[in-house]
């Protein structure tokens, strides 16, 4: 698992690199686990552009991923490791003892032929999913639930994991990759190990065409527009803070601090800043 550098035979390949796909064992997805994926072009249900600079891109099929790991006590064997165009991580096709097949996020070190299982009482091995209260301190986990039974929501991208650092009462404290410390209920499931394909962050798209394949359209800076088109337009921005074309500040936190889960954040992402507590 690594990256492959292109020979600089053209300007577009001089800095371009891609994954070597060494861990991939099958090119075509499991047909029963795919769904159509319509592109929105960044438009909402009114047809208005709600997210700019989106559109085009290569056609994809959505792979249905089992984030809940809800089939307790039934062993599953890893049959294939596949590429998923909808995420940075690889996915693994597993087949249960009763013949059912599901996709899961591929953890680092999980190979074809390995056996995994989920549910309380499972062994602490890579790929197994079990409640956080049963995970030993210092263990790396991914695909972490925030609400018991809802399915994994945290640490799902390539190379991501969180570390179990403390247990107190019904809650388990996790150290996220961002250094944020967060408490999660002990009944929430998490998968042992780190998400694979950690070298994803080393890839370089190298040319504008690769950006378009990903469905991202060009971005024009406000400074090069006219004043009628953007607050930054004209010869200079004049030292004003960065704003959107409609005058709203950009680059500021937009998270609603009144969320119920906010009280479970022990330490924020920035050290030395205000610590959120409310236990």
Q: Is the pLDDT of residue 90 over 70?
A: yes
More confident residue, 185 or 263: 185
DSSP 8-state assignment for residue 229: T
Rounded CA-CA distance 119/11 in Å is 52
pLDDT of the residue at 40: 94
Q: Whole-prediction pTM value?
A: 0.89
Neighbours of 184 (CB within 10 A): 24
Mean pLDDT estimate for the chain = 93
Rounded CA-CA distance 69/145 in Å is 10
pLDDT of the residue at 158: 96
Rounded CA-CA distance 81/103 in Å is 9
The pLDDT confidence band at residue 270, using thresholds 50, 70 and 90, is low
Q: Is the pLDDT of residue 273 over 60?
A: no
Q: Tell me: the pLDDT tens digits for 125-176?
A: 999 999 999 999 999 999 999 999 999 999 999 999 999 999 999 999 999 9
Name the one residue in this structure whose structure tokens are 């929105």: 40
The pLDDT confidence band at residue 237, using thresholds 50, 70 and 90, is confident
Question: pLDDT exceeding 70 applies to what percent of the chain?
Answer: 96
Q: In the chain, what are the domain boundaries?
A: 3-200
For residues 255-260, average pLDDT: 83
Rounded CA-CA distance 276/100 in Å is 44
CATH superfamily of 3-200: Nucleic acid-binding proteins (2.40.50.140)
Q: Is the pLDDT of residue 256 over 90?
A: no
Q: Is the pLDDT of residue 230 over 60?
A: yes
For residues 199-227, average pLDDT: 94
Q: Which of 151, 34, 188, 154 is nearest to 102 (CA)?
A: 34
Q: Which of 155, 145, 64 is nearest to 102 (CA)?
A: 64
Rounded CA-CA distance 208/13 in Å is 11
Q: Is the pLDDT of residue 274 over 70?
A: no
HSE-CB at 59 with a 13 A cutoff on CA atoms is 2
Q: Is the pLDDT of residue 275 over 50?
A: no
Least confident range of 21-30, 177-186, 246-255, 262-271: 262-271
């Amino acid at each position: 698992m690594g990256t492959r550098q292109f020979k600089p035979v053209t300007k577009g390949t001089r800095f371009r690199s891609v994954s070597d796909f060494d861990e991939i064992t099958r090119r075509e997805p499991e047909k029963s686990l795919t769904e159509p994926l319509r592109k929105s072009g960044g438009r909402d249900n009114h047809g208005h552009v709600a997210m700019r600079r989106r559109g085009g891109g290569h056609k994809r099929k959505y792979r249905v991923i089992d984030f809940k790991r809800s089939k307790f006590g039934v062993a599953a064997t890893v049959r294939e490791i596949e590429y998923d165009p909808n995420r940075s991580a690889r996915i693994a096709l597993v087949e249960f003892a009763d013949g059912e097949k599901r996709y899961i996020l591929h953890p680092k070190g999980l190979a074809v032929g390995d056996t995994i299982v989920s549910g309380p009482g499972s062994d602490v091995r890579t790929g197994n999913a079990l409640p956080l209260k049963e995970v030993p301190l210092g263990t790396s986990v991914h695909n972490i639930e925030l609400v018991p039974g809802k399915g994994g929501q945290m640490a799902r991208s390539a190379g991501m994991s969180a570390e179990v650092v403390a247990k107190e009462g019904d809650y388990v404290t996790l150290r996220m990759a961002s250094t944020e410390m967060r408490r999660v209920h002990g009944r929430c499931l998490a998968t042992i190990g780190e998400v694979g394909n950690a070298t994803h962050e080393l890839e370089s798209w190298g040319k504008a065409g690769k950006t378009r394949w990903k469905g991202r359209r060009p971005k024009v800076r406000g400074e090069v527009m006219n004043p009628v088109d953007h607050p930054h337009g004209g010869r200079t921005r004049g030292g004003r803070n960065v704003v959107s074309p409609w005058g709203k500040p950009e680059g500021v936190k937009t998270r609603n601090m009144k969320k119920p889960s906010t009280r479970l954040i022990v330490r924020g992402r920035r050290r030395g800043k205000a610590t959120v507590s409310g236990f």
